[in-house]
Amino acid sequence: MTRKVWFQVGVGFFLALLIIKYFIEIHWIFSPFVIILKVIFIPLLLGGVLYYVTEPIQRFLEKRKWPRWASILTIVIGLIALVGGFGWIVGNPIAVQVNNLVKNVPQISASIQEAADYVFKNKDNFPPQLKDFIDNMANSAQHFAVVASKGLVSFLQSVVSVSLLAILIPFFFIFMLKDHEKFAPSVYKYFSGERREWVKKTLSEIDDVLRSYIQGQLQISFLLALIMYVGYLIIGLEYSLLLVIFAFFMNMIPFIGPWIAFTPALIVAVVQDPVLVIWVSVVTLVAQQIDSNFITPNVMGKTLDIHPLTVITVILAAGNIAGFIGIIIAVPFYAVLKVIASNIYDERNVIKKKATKSV
């Protein structure tokens, strides 16, 4: 019976529960490590993203016999020039749109309140189904406001933390560019034989998955934002540049992100001209169709091989557990766990075949 898969899985699950139980009971031992991890996590995350974005450039330069220090210096100077050029080109339009948005906030709030008052005053004239929907929305409005405010506070706290710890990001980024080949050997040097090769292969696949996801997701976000910006300019939507910058960051969240980005565009359209709601919806729908049928299949391909329903489930669960940061890292974290689990399963089958092989 002990050789049955269901028995082994059951024992493993029971042991995992015991480990979690005792880990929770002695969590105070790990509190200093958790605090340190929280301090370095965001700079490490952003430094890792910058590394995976610029690593192809470093590889390209070093293939042409550039020394490591020259490639790193070129990348850093290039990033500074890129950020400075972007700020010089779009800084003034962004400032103008932000000022206009701040000035128009009272008008936007008044318009939304006026529309809500009209709906509630005339809801008795609506069909029963629409009336029930309005009542349900009214009952959940307060709960939604509380959740949204908590999410906003959490997001602002994350932004402040990133700003305070921004000085650490260049250090992580530069050291990753300088010593990235040393990480895997520093891990698998403690193993030998077939185990060493397995660890080496697993680390290589994790690196490939993270590189493909980060580089691909940034390309997808940029192309989607570009399509939406062109669409917003064509329909004459106000604050289009601000909305597109917000959409760029939200599009990094698979499947759910574009619809999060759609919400502020919809609000601006309602206030500016209700007819624009239709055109904003059309622009979003066209962008999503182009992304689903052309951009994502060609950029990401089957790299992650994760079902869309799994992605949505993982994102929602991570959002409830770790907030906005959890939503950002949910998919790559799941992809890494999948690589590890897949390699463990394959190794287990290899060991099982060797153990049962007839002599």
65 has pLDDT over 70: yes
Residue 185: band (very low, low, confident or very high) from pLDDT cuts 50, 70, 90: confident
pTM: 0.66
d(CA 173, CA 288): 33
Q: Considering the chain, what percentage of its residues have pLDDT values greater than 70?
A: 65
Q: Is residue 141 predicted with pLDDT exceeding 60? A: no
| 350 to 4, 345, 356: CA distances (angstroms) | 17, 9, 10
Q: Is the pLDDT of residue 124 over 70?
A: no
CA 133 and chain centroid, separation = 32
Higher pLDDT, 51 or 124: 51
Average pLDDT over residues 273-284: 86
Average pLDDT, the chain: 76
Confidence band (pLDDT; 50, 70, 90) for 197? confident
Coil, strand or helix at 190? coil
Confidence label for 73 from pLDDT (cuts 50, 70 and 90): very high
- Is a pLDDT exceeding 60 seen at residue 144? no
Least confident range of 87-91, 213-217, 224-228: 87-91
End-to-end CA distance of the chain: 24
Q: Helix, strand, coil % (nearest 5) of the chain?
A: 90, 0, 10
For residues 162 and 273, which has the higher predicted lDDT (pLDDT)? Answer: 273
With a pLDDT cut of 90, the percent of the chain lying above it is: 2
Q: What is the pLDDT of residue 74?
A: 92
Whole-number pLDDT of residue 331 = 81
The pLDDT confidence band at residue 77, using thresholds 50, 70 and 90, is: very high
Tens of pLDDT, residue by residue over 328-349, are 788 888 888 888 888 888 877 7
- The model's confidence at residue 262, banded by pLDDT at 50, 70 and 90, is confident
Instruction: Give CA–CA dist 359/348, Å, rounded.
Output: 20
Q: Quick check: 135 and 146 in contact, CB under 8 A?
A: no
Best mean pLDDT range from 18-32, 224-238, 255-269 = 224-238
User: Is the pLDDT score of 27 beyond 80?
Assistant: no
The mean pLDDT of 149-164, rounded to a whole number, is 54
Q: Which of 153, 164, 114, 80 is nearest to 270 (CA)?
A: 114
Q: Decide if pLDDT at 151 tops 60.
A: no
Mean pLDDT of 94-99: 67
Residues 175, 69 contacting (CB under 8 angstroms): no
